[in-house]
Amino acid sequence: MAGEASKLQHLAYPGPTEVTPYFFNYDLGKGADYSDDHPLKRKGKRNLSQVASDLIPDYHKLSRLYHSPVLTDFLAAVLDQTVYRNQDKYQSLNISVMNAGGCQQWHFDSGLMVTTLLLQAPESGGVFEYVPELRSDESENYEQVQQVLDGDSNRVKRLKLEAGTLSLFRGHYSMHRVTEVEGSRTRIQAILGFSTTPDLQGNLESSILHYGPRVAHIEDRED
């Protein structure tokens, strides 16, 4: 599986290099005037590339795993509720590629649940760090978000993942990041899109940012 994914690295698009923790929360704070040091304005380094779903062949083991009812049944059993695959043709299944120096800034996800599978671990670095339940539906908790961005690690949990680790976490509420990758071995991770809501589609603007202008060209041709 890792070998197949590795052969797709040349198709990965780098996307934006500096984004805020709320990059995936498109409407949060929109139109409001915040100071430059407010969490909504503070940008962090993002150094990774992603292979979109439409570039991953159906016959690849990763794609077959993602579309297997065994996996959805397993996740449903863990969550004790029905789970659906993301229906977006670009975002449903991604491969994240981080070479030496690669990292992802502190951020919250747009979706309520995130499922990842580490296909290849780096020689060093590339540690997954997160702050459990840092925000809620009732409060964005900007003060404590600010503290984490300033380097406060009191609530930060760290996971040095091994290849083959399947992770399911609430990235919408728990701010998280990946520390800088060290060494010559690439960190390769699959991001598997699942939701408790059927027929979920992604944001087209996000797809263009993450997977490049080819997405806009495809959509223009299909309109």
Q: Is 141 buried (19+), middle (13-18) or exposed (0-12) by CB count in 10 A? A: middle
Residue 11 predicted with pLDDT over 90: yes
Confidence class for position 111, pLDDT limits 50, 70, 90: confident
Taking CA 145 as the corner, what is the angle to CA 142 and CA 149, rounded to the nearest 5 degrees?
A: 135
**Mean pLDDT, to the nearest integer, of 33-45?**
91
| Burial of 203 (C-beta count, 10 Å sphere; 0-12/13-18/19+) | middle
Q: For 165-192, how does the pLDDT look when each residue is reduced to its tens digit (9 = 90+)?
A: 999 999 999 999 999 999 999 999 999 9
* Overall average pLDDT of the 106-117 stretch: 92
Q: Which helix (H) or strand (E) holds 57?
A: none
Domain that holds residue 162: 2-222
Q: Which among 204, 120, 216 is positioned nearest to 162, based on CA atoms?
A: 120
Question: Computed from CA positions of residues 2, 61, 176, 90, in that sequence, does the dihedral angle turn out positive or negative?
Answer: positive
Mean pLDDT of the chain: 95
What's the predicted TM-score (pTM) here?
0.94
Give how many domains the chain has, as a whole number. 1
**Percent of the chain clearing pLDDT 70 (strictly above):** 97
The CATH number given to whatever domain includes residue 126 is: 2.60.120.620
pLDDT of residue 36: 86
**pLDDT category, 26, cuts 50, 70, 90?**
low
31: pLDDT strictly greater than 70: no
The answer to whether residues 2 and 65 touch, using CB atoms and an 8 Å cutoff, is: no
CA-CA distance, 163 to 168, in Å (whole number)? 15
Query: Measured in whole angstroms, how far is the alpha carbon of residue 219 from the centre of its chain?
Result: 23
Task: Determine the Cα–Cα distance for residues 26 and 109; give it in Å rounded to an integer.
Answer: 10
For residue 195, what pLDDT is reported?
A: 93
